[in-house]
Structure 1
Amino acid sequence: MSKHVSVTKHDGVATVVIDNPPMNVLSNQVLTGLDDVFGQLETDDEVITIILTGAGDRAFMAGADIKEFLDEDVNQEAKDTHGVLNRIAAIPKPTIVLLNGFTLGGGLELALTCDLRIAEDHVQIGLPEVNLGLLPGGGGTQRLPKEIGIAKAKELMFTGSHISADEAYNIGIVNQVVKKSEGKEAANQLAHKVAGNSLQSLSRIKQLINNTEQVSLHEGLQQEKAAFKALFATQDSQEGIQAFIEKRKPEFNHR
């Protein structure tokens, strides 16, 4: 386990914390730590939902470690970053990111790999790479337009400006905005609500939604039909249906 990335587990929810003071930048060590932790959580049967956040309240992640750019092969660095972030985006479990401070550059790109995003109201969000003569190299040019539309994404990347948590909510980057210091409770409540459902259902829903941009509507509907049929062969679907008939809360075993 990386000294900069830790994980705790409780009632089906894993909380991953990035701790790289003072601003939790995305260094090679952090990237490796995230890769290791999410690789373990993917196959951990005890974990249904994952929360990702940063230590402290100054920054979720204030970008990449710029100093490392001087020492690393940039093309290789970009390739490694894409590989790790793609694996986080594709993990077959719902992910929730809590933005509890500056979320800039690589921090926003990391946040965009998560399924749901909660921001505390003091958060500043942006992709400022253009101010360094660079561009977002961790997927920002591809993921952000899909979330908020091409024109607004171009505006944020062309100007390198920071926006507030409220504006991020208004344009669709985040799902919720909560008061400072209340983010952890909000994330936990949401995570445990999601974790109360069957992972058999959750993982298929995530995969189908993520595939919508790669397949036609016809193919997507065929995939949905096949996934719906496959769910009927699971223990959880039988438990869910029986619990509904008996008017009780289902007890899913995620099989």
Structure 2
Amino acid sequence: MAYLKVERDDQVVQITITRQEKLNAMNLAVMDEFISILDGLEKDSSRVIIITGDGTKAFSAGADIEYMSSIGPSDAEKYALRGHEVLNKIEKLEKPVIAAVNGYALGGGCELALSCDLRFASPNAYLGQPEVTLGICPGWGGTQRLLRIIGPARAKDLIFSGRKITAEEAFSMGLINKIFSSENLISETRSYAKTISKNSSFAIGVSKMLVNKGTDANLDTGLKLEIYSWAVCFSTKDREERMRKFVEKKL
């Protein structure tokens, strides 16, 4: 991989974007590498995925503006489709994905973080959707995921103004889950990921699906899907073993 570094620590996988000279912006080559890695992670034994950017300046400055400045509507649509393919894969992965945001997460970088299940940040993180300052709207899911996470009024504020917000403001509106010091961001994120990895991967995968589906389903539909999924969990040996250990006070 030329732009993504993959590190494995037991059942936790960390993916790092390594384009510091471009503030870890995501061009087509980066997205191709993401697709390849994510395809492999769908089938391997990993339990939790961490996505971060190399260095402390940027998680990801987003899409490659130099590339976008030279294309027309047709190529722009293809670029957006590729971006959606990557971020949809992250969102639908049956494993928790945590964004560790150190520095700028702007435009497509913010949208990358939005596609993750949890977002941890350092105090020097800045998030935003500044696309309108460049004459475009968010194109990698920002208009849809942002409103689902922080609500339509706050989403419109960030999108219409194009302003960057601090980690503290992002935390206050529920866009960021936790804030850690810059030097401890990765170690704390890894520690949290290892805590998750001790739990049932099947149950977590089902729970992730239920929350994601529930975002768009009415309450009655969501509850029926939950009942079905709850029952399916009782068919697994993992559930049987965990409950046996609990009853025997071994868990």
Corresponding position of 1:98:
100
Q: Report the Cα offset of residue 216 of structure 1.
A: 2.1
Corresponding position of 1:178:
180
Q: Report the Cα offset of residue 186 of structure 1.
A: 1.2
AA of the residue aligned to 2:178: Q
Give the Cα–Cα distance (whole angstroms) in 2 for the partners of residues 65 and 219 of structure 1.
40
AA of the residue aligned to 1:39: D
Number of residue-to-residue matches in the alignment: 247
Tell me, yes or no, if structure 1 residue 38 matches structure 2 residue 71.
no
Give the Cα–Cα distance (whole angstroms) in 2 for the partners of residues 93 and 227 of structure 1.
16
Corresponding position of 2:59:
60
Tell me, yes or no, if structure 1 residue 228 matches structure 2 residue 230.
yes
Aligned positions of 1:148-187 closer than 5 A: 148-187=150-189
The TM-score normalised by the length of structure 2 is 0.96
Give the Cα–Cα distance (whole angstroms) in 2 for the partners of residues 137 and 71 of structure 1.
15
AA of the residue aligned to 2:36: D
Q: Secondary structure at the match of 1:186?
A: helix
AA of the residue aligned to 1:121: P
The TM-score normalised by the length of structure 1 is 0.94
AA of the residue aligned to 2:195: K
Candidates 70, 87, 90, aligned match of 2:89: 87
Aligned positions of 1:137-152 closer than 5 A: 137-152=139-154
Q: Secondary structure at the match of 1:137?
A: coil
AA of the residue aligned to 2:242: G
Q: Report the Cα offset of residue 214 of structure 1.
A: 2.8
Q: Report the Cα offset of residue 230 of structure 1.
A: 0.9
Runs of 4+ in 1 over 6 A off after TM superposition: none
Q: Report the Cα offset of residue 213 of structure 1.
A: 2.5
1:94-122, CA deviations, whole angstroms, 9 ceiling, x for partnerless residues? 11110011110000000000001100001
Corresponding position of 1:218:
220
1:56-95, CA deviations, whole angstroms, 9 ceiling, x for partnerless residues? 1110001211111114711111111112211111101011
- Contact kept? 1:20, 1:30, Cα under 8 Å: no
Aligned positions of 1:124-139 closer than 5 A: 124-139=126-141
- Contact kept? 1:58, 1:100, Cα under 8 Å: yes
Q: Secondary structure at the match of 2:20?
A: coil
Corresponding position of 1:122:
124
Q: Secondary structure at the match of 2:179?
A: strand
Q: Secondary structure at the match of 2:13?
A: strand
Q: Secondary structure at the match of 1:172?
A: coil
Aligned-residue RMSD, C-alpha: 1.0
1:139-167, CA deviations, whole angstroms, 9 ceiling, x for partnerless residues? 00110011111111111111110110000
Q: Report the Cα offset of residue 235 of structure 1.
A: 0.8
Q: Report the Cα offset of residue 6 of structure 1.
A: 1.8
AA of the residue aligned to 1:236: D
1:195-221, CA deviations, whole angstroms, 9 ceiling, x for partnerless residues? 000111000000000001332211211
AA of the residue aligned to 1:201: A
Identity, in percent, stands at 37
Give the Cα–Cα distance (whole angstroms) in 2 for the partners of residues 115 and 61 of structure 1.
17
1:1-54, CA deviations, whole angstroms, 9 ceiling, x for partnerless residues? x3101211122111111111220001111111111111111111x201101101
Q: Report the Cα offset of residue 134 of structure 1.
A: 0.9
Q: Secondary structure at the match of 1:39?
A: helix
Corresponding position of 2:78:
76
Give the Cα–Cα distance (whole angstroms) in 2 for the partners of residues 125 and 100 of structure 1.
10
